[in-house]
């Protein structure tokens, strides 16, 4: 990946290649730690790749730049995808990826804004990231800043009441500088979302709460980039991108299997997973 100049926005074809590298990094971290959440990290990879390498206004050399866009991974257990993005974007040395979940590591099991450069909000308790995002978007308005706030949530996370309190607040204050991306992979910790607590008509619910809704294929990079760029143009209303995704995307035996929500691959599984993801590199190239 050294040939990609990540200091400038990547093209769609370059983003596809970076997404492959991100998936390799996710697998590497979780296998090394023998703990973590591969399924939801892999489902969100294309979205996070497009944000960090195309859409967001950020400066890795100045993580606290006050005019930067803000990003929150509200589904915080999927932080390996966040850590991979930050490492590849240049916030810290890639050597840290080998230390996921280890004592004294800057890469804890859930991202900590006091430990990890580039993390704007500590995450872990589901439903709280979107609430913080509303606060950041309001702060931008009060402080007359033009940064955008991006929040990725999970569909299992939508069972939290705080998500809907935040949704009401964002609509009331017409926070058009806030975009939520729903990683709709249909699986949560124990089983399929439909079995645990059905969500019903997701698009219609968000529309009823006063949000602009955009539906897309969360693994079609052209659609992902187009939807994110459109979201930045919406005025007078918050926007949610409803991204249809696959849990464990890119690894055949992980795709759509609830077990891989929070299970680390053994050596044999890691080798197979890595081979499958690396084969996608040839297609992306």
What CA–CA distances, in Å, run from 228 to 124, 196, 204?
A: 25, 30, 20
Cα–Cα distance between 95 and 112 in angstroms, integer? Answer: 18
Degrees to nearest 5, angle at CA 215 with 254 and 7 = 75
Integer Cα distance of 40 and 17 in angstroms: 19
**What Rg value do the Cα atoms of the chain yield, rounded?**
17
- CA dist list (Å): 104 to 47, 96, 110, 125, 198: 29, 11, 13, 21, 39
- Looking at CATH, the fold of the domain delimited by 12-284 is given as Rossmann fold (3.40.50)
Q: From first to last of its 285 residues, what are the pLDDT tens digits of the chain?
A: 457 999 899 999 999 999 999 999 999 999 999 999 999 999 999 999 999 999 999 999 999 999 999 999 999 999 999 999 999 999 999 999 999 999 999 999 999 999 999 999 999 899 999 999 999 999 999 999 999 999 999 999 999 999 999 999 999 999 999 999 999 999 999 999 999 999 999 999 999 999 999 999 999 999 999 999 999 999 999 999 999 999 999 999 999 999 999 999 999 999 999 999 999 866 665
Rounded distance, CA 211 to CA 174, Å? 9
Residue ranges per structural domain of the chain:
12-284
């Amino acid at each position: 990946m050294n040939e990609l100049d990540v200091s400038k926005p990547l093209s769609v074809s370059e983003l596809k290649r970076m997404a492959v590298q991100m998936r390799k990094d996710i697998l590497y971290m979780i296998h090394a730690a023998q703990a973590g959440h591969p399924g939801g990290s892999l489902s969100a990879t294309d979205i996070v790749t497009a944000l960090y390498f195309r859409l967001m206004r950020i400066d890795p050399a100045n993580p606290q730049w006050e005019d930067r866009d803000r990003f929150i991974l509200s589904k915080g257990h999927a932080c390996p995808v966040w850590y991979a993005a930050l490492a590849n974007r240049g916030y810290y040395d890639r050597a840290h990826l080998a230390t996921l979940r280890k004592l004294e590591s800057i890469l804890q099991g859930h991202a900590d804004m006091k430990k990890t450069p580039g993390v704007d909000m500590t995450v872990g308790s589901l439903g709280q990231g979107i609430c913080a995002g509303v606060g950041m978007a309001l702060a931008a308005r009060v402080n007359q800043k033009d940064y955008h706030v991006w929040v990725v949530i999970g569909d299992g996370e939508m069972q939290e009441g705080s998500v809907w309190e935040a949704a009401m607040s964002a609509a009331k204050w017409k926070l058009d500088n806030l975009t939520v991306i729903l990683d709709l992979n249909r699986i949560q910790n124990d089983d399929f979302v439909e079995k645990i607590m059905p969500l019903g008509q997701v698009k219609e619910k968000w529309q009823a709460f006063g949000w602009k809704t955009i539906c897309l294929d969360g693994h079609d990079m052209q659609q992902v980039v187009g939807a994110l760029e459109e979201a930045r143009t919406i005025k007078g209303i918050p926007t949610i991108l409803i991204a249809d995704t696959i849990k464990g995307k890119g690894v055949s035996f992980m795709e759509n299997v609830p077990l891989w929500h929070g299970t680390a691959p053994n050596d044999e599984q890691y080798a197979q997973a890595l081979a499958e993801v690396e084969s996608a590199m040839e297609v992306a190239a």
